[in-house]
Amino acid sequence: NCLSFLRPKDFPTLQNDTFLRAARGEETEHVPVWCMRQAGRYLPEFRESRAGKDFFDTCRSPESCCELTLQPLRRFPFDAAIIFSDILVVPQAMGMDVLMVAGKGPTFPDPLKEPEDLQRLRTAVDVEKELGYVFKAITLTRHKIEGKVPLIGFTGAPWTLMAYMIEGGGSNTYSKAKRWLYRHPEASHMLLRMLTDVIVEYLLGQVAAGAQALQVFDSHAGILGPVQFKDFSLPYLRDIARRVKDKLKETGQDVPMIVFAKDAHYALEDLSQSHYEVVGLDWTIDPRSARERTGGKVSLQGNMDPCALYSPKDRISEIVQKMVEGFGTRGYIANLGHGLYPDMDPENVGAFVEAVHQHSKLMIKQ
Ligand code: CP3
C-alpha cells in the first residue's frame, strides 16, 4: 500500500499562510477566502468522481478524499482547503449505522429513542482504529497539497451530532432530539459528554495527522434557544477548545480553531469568549454588529448568503465589497454563511473568490 510510506512528517513548506495569519488576527496582504462545501456537487469533476459510489465508502478511501479535497483548489485560488469527510463519521465510530440515502440525506436506520439506548454506544472508542482512515486522508492530502494552502480538519459539535443520532436524519423541528433535552436532561448530558470525549481525541488525531486548523460545526445550534444553548451546547464547545488547546500546548503546537454555530446569533458574545480564535457566522448577522458584539476579541469568518451566488457576477462583486467593508480587512476570513448548494455555477464561485481578493487588496493598500 503506497500510503504506508506517507508519514505525518516532512510535509512540504507552506507557501500561503494568509488564512492562518487572519485566524490569529495578524496583518495580511489580502483577505483570505474559502467556502464551506467547496468540495461538493456543484463541481462536475466532483460528481464524476463520486458517481456510483457509496458516500461513506468514499469517506473511507483516503485517495478519494484527497482527490475531492484538491479538486476545488485546481479551479479557484482558495486560501484554505477543508478535508473531504463528514461529521457523521463520529456517530459511526461510536457504533451507530449511518447511510447516505440519495434524495434524502443521511439516515440512521436505528436512531437512539430512549436513554436506555445509550448502552448501545461504544463506551471506550478507539479513535485511531475507528477513524484512522480520516487521519490517513489528512496525511496524504497534506503531502499532495504541496504546501499551497493550509488544510482544515473538522468535526460536528456534540449537540449537532446528538440531534442526528436521536432524530435519525434531517428534520424541520428536531423535536425528538429536543424532547430529550426537556425530558431526559441527565441522559442528554451523558451523551453530550461521551461525544465530547471522542471529539477531543478525534481533533487531536487530525492535528497529529497534519491538519493545520480545526472547525467545529454546530449546524443545528439555531434550533436551540439561548437558554438551552447555554446548557446543552456552549459548555461542550468550550470544553473541546480548552482540552484540545491544552494538549497541543504541551507539544508547542498552535492550531487555530473555528466555531461555527449556525443561527446562534443570540450566543455571539459567549462564542467570542469560548477559547476559539475564529467565530464563523451565518448570513443572518450584520458584519458591523458582529464586530461590535465580539469586541475585537476574535477573528470572524463568513458570511455571504450562499444564494447571493445566484446573482450576476458584477452584483456578486458589489455584495462582497459591502461585506468586506463591514467586517474590515483585519482578523477576517471571507466565506459563505453556510455551504454551497449543488446547483450553483462554479463560475460564480470563482467570481466570489476573485472579488474578495480584489476588493480587500485595494482596501489594505489604502
Ligand atoms: O467541502 C467541504 O466542506 C468538506 C466536506 C464536508 C462534507 N460534509 C461533505 C459532504 C463537510 C465539512 C461536511 C460537514 C457536514 N456534514 C455538516 C456540517 C456542515 C453543514 O452543512 O451544516 C453536516 C450537517 C453534515 C451532514 C450531511 N452530510 C448532510 C446533511 C448531507 C446531505 C447534504 C445533501 O445536500 O445531500 C451530507 C452529505 C455530504 N457531505 C455531501 C458532501 C459533499 C453531499 C453528498 C455527496 O457527495 O454525495
- The CATH class, in words, for 2-365 is alpha beta
Task: Report the nearest atom of ligand 1 relative to the CA of 68.
Answer: 1
* CA 183 – CA 228 distance, rounded (Å): 13
Q: Is the CB of 106 under 6 A from ligand 1?
A: yes
Residue having the nearest C-alpha atom to atom 3 of ligand 1? 37
Sign of CA dihedral 305, 307, 309, 310: negative
Q: Check if 41 is active-site.
A: yes
State the pLDDT at residue 3.
59
State the pLDDT at residue 253.
93
Compute, in angstroms, the gap from residue 134 CA to the centroid of ligand 1.
15
State the pLDDT at residue 334.
98
Task: Report the nearest atom of ligand 1 relative to the CA of 83.
Answer: 4
Q: Which candidate in 21, 75, 86, 286 is catalytic?
A: 86
State the pLDDT at residue 296.
87
Which three cell numbers, joined as nine digits, stand for 336?
459563505
State which of 86, 165, 218 you would mutate to test the pocket of ligand 1, scoring each by most atoms of that ligand within 8 A of its C-beta. Answer: 86
Q: Would you list the domain boundaries of the chain?
A: 2-365
Residue 197 confidence (pLDDT) above 80: yes
Distance set, CA 135 to CA 83, 198, 231 (Å): 10, 14, 32
State the pLDDT at residue 229.
98
State the pLDDT at residue 239.
98
Q: What pLDDT, in 10s, does the model give residues 87-139? A: 999 999 999 999 999 999 999 999 999 999 999 999 899 999 999 999 999 99
Q: Is 297 helix (H, G, I), strand (E, B) or coil?
A: coil
Radius of gyration of the chain (CA): 20
Which three cell numbers, joined as nine digits, stand for 58?
468514499
Provide the β-strand partners of residue 280: 260, 301
Q: What pLDDT, in 10s, does the model give residues 327-346? A: 999 999 999 999 999 999 99
Confidence grade of residue 8 (pLDDT, cut at 50, 70, 90): confident
Q: Check if 47 is active-site.
A: no
Distance set, CA 277 to CA 107, 287, 341 (Å): 33, 17, 27
Compute, in angstroms, the gap from residue 124 CA to the centroid of ligand 1.
27
% of the chain beyond a pLDDT of 90? 95
State the pLDDT at residue 45.
98
Q: Which amino acid is at 76?
A: F
Q: Is 196 helix (H, G, I), strand (E, B) or coil?
A: helix
Compute, in angstroms, the gap from residue 220 CA to the centroid of ligand 1.
13
